[in-house]
Structure 1
């Protein structure tokens, strides 16, 4: 077994999309619980403070175990999706030509979009990749069930089940929605709204407006990662009948949409971070403004390795700054 090949099959550059929303949801839940437990120092203690502390104490007791479980769910789910996509695209032949590490360097030397190798395309038996996907999905399910039992947020079981189903049918099944141009929408919903709001609710038993704004930012950042990936693969996807959003819109329009999403994500992210921690949250986020500029400028030049790295960094940058701003505020 080629360990390096399997590590590449994890698609490490996509993992920030799973870590970031859980980090943001955790920080906002921490902020909410901390506010519940904070009261004016007077005697007698106001009844409202007593009631809020009664709510905050059990939430604080299981905060970190549930937070860690939520992070593990997101990571294992992302890995499961990556392996499942490798399996489905591999057996369909969509990953044709991605059978060696040299294929990436050769593509760059010839001025074409570089594509890292894939497991099935590299000769790994499809059954082994499918088993790896199933094992990661099972670990995600176990961690998710444990988080739900501890937090008593039973409706999150439905969200978890929907996430697993969506992960498989992205490229699996007879009519995968990733082949119909709906991948970015699914990523926005599951790696933005569901991940941030689900994490916040599991930890604090509530969902607030700030979390919705943060979820939109995380969703846009995750969608941009997929947009860059699909722009890189646009020729081969078109050849194999994979009608991604980039294929449907065309390279120029899809690049423009990437820029629009980047502007929206940054505008909303700046507002959120400055609202949480005025003005330092916004200043801290602006310190990384060169990253999205380089990302959107790299795509027309077909420098997709750089663009993907920047998209992943941007995703984590927003999450870290938003988390710091929420906790300090």
Structure 2
């Protein structure tokens, strides 16, 4: 049964179901940046003879909740700072276009954090309480990514911070909680994933470059300029694929990981989709292709690791 939001609260989107509106607020295309690293870390643990399905599921859900909460904080603070309007291009807009109360957005985000903390207690009790300290740092980073007086996302460091925490940190935690150790292989494989997660953020900033500049943001895309930012995006894709070849040549990973090149067409589509475009709506397909590159690349890494284990 479809649940409807009262018309007086909906503004221009009176016919959308509540489920569809909330699904959009979670920005599902970004959630791959949460479950891809967990999958890779767990695949690496399996390669080393360790597999704990409950810890995997707890880590997976916790990571997705933190990412979803980060998206909601972004929705809330962009509205509070007057950056979102009904004409804004993007997948969010629950406050300005769908009439969701700002306090509701904030409360849901905090609820996601609370559930993630409970899952974190189980993870720590099953592995190490040092994970709690790392988890707290991750949650503070998620909040201050768009919250607080100096949001990370509005600075030139958004790509680096998001890539590091959602790539390196999540992969290493996912590996550690199942093996009680950290391997060189797990760290090295986390690098291209971190780069591609940073690429998602860069693509978002390329799309929003003009609006962000007007609002006083100082993102990396603004500092570099549109053309150089697109070149950087292409460079990030290039390094990610080259990194896998180097790891294989050094004997660190199996040749099975070369299947990641199955995602290359999406990366090429993303770069080409940004070239010559200036309107945000024109760049939406390129931004989507960037997120899809991370998703396909990441799952193919996990698949390659599993194939090297099974074959």
Q: 1:262 aligns with which of 213, 217, 237?
A: 237
CA distance in 1, matches of 2:120, 2:245: 31
1:143 corresponds to which residue? 119
For structure 1, which segment, 304-313 or 72-81, has the greater mean C-alpha deviation from structure 2 after superposition? 304-313
1:88 corresponds to which residue? 77
Question: Does the Cα contact within 8 Å between 2:196 and 2:237 map onto a contact in 1?
Answer: yes
Task: Give TM-score scaled by structure 2 length.
Answer: 0.86
Q: Cα distance, 1:272 vs. partner? A: 4.0
Unaligned segments of structure 2, at least 5 residues: 6-17
Question: Does the Cα contact within 8 Å between 1:21 and 1:191 map onto a contact in 2?
Answer: yes
2:273 corresponds to which residue? 298
Q: Using a 3 Å threshold, how does the CA distance of structure 1 residues 277 and 253 change in structure 2: closer, same or farther?
A: closer
How big is each residue's C-alpha offset from its partner over 1:228-261, in whole Å with a ceiling of 9 and x where there is no partner? 1111111111111122111122111211111111
Unaligned segments of structure 1, at least 5 residues: 35-58, 105-113
Q: Using a 3 Å threshold, how does the CA distance of structure 1 residues 273 and 14 change in structure 2: closer, same or farther?
A: farther
Q: Cα distance, 1:290 vs. partner? A: 1.0
1:110 corresponds to which residue? none
Pairwise mapping of residues 215-254 of structure 1 onto structure 2 (< 5 A)?
215-254=190-229
2:64 corresponds to which residue? 75
SS at match of 2:40: helix
1:207 corresponds to which residue? 182
SS at match of 2:263: coil
CA distance in 1, matches of 2:243, 2:152: 28
Alignment length (residue pairs): 286
1:18 corresponds to which residue? 34
How big is each residue's C-alpha offset from its partner over 1:270-318, in whole Å with a ceiling of 9 and x where there is no partner? 4446756643431x22233211111111112434222222222221222
Pairwise mapping of residues 99-110 of structure 1 onto structure 2 (< 5 A)?
99=86, 103=87
CA distance in 2, matches of 1:279, 1:184: 29
Q: Using a 3 Å threshold, how does the CA distance of structure 1 residues 117 and 75 change in structure 2: closer, same or farther?
A: closer
How big is each residue's C-alpha offset from its partner over 1:112-131, in whole Å with a ceiling of 9 and x where there is no partner? xx433412222321101100
1:321 corresponds to which residue? 300
Question: Does the Cα contact within 8 Å between 2:261 and 2:297 map onto a contact in 1?
Answer: no
Q: Cα distance, 1:328 vs. partner? A: 2.6
- Could you list the structure 1 runs, at least 4 aligned residues long, displaced by more than 3 angstroms after superposition: 270-280
CA distance in 2, matches of 1:135, 1:27: 30
Task: Give TM-score scaled by structure 1 length.
Answer: 0.82
RMSD: 1.8
SS at match of 2:124: helix
Q: Using a 3 Å threshold, how does the CA distance of structure 1 residues 276 and 314 change in structure 2: closer, same or farther?
A: farther
CA distance in 2, matches of 1:201, 1:117: 34
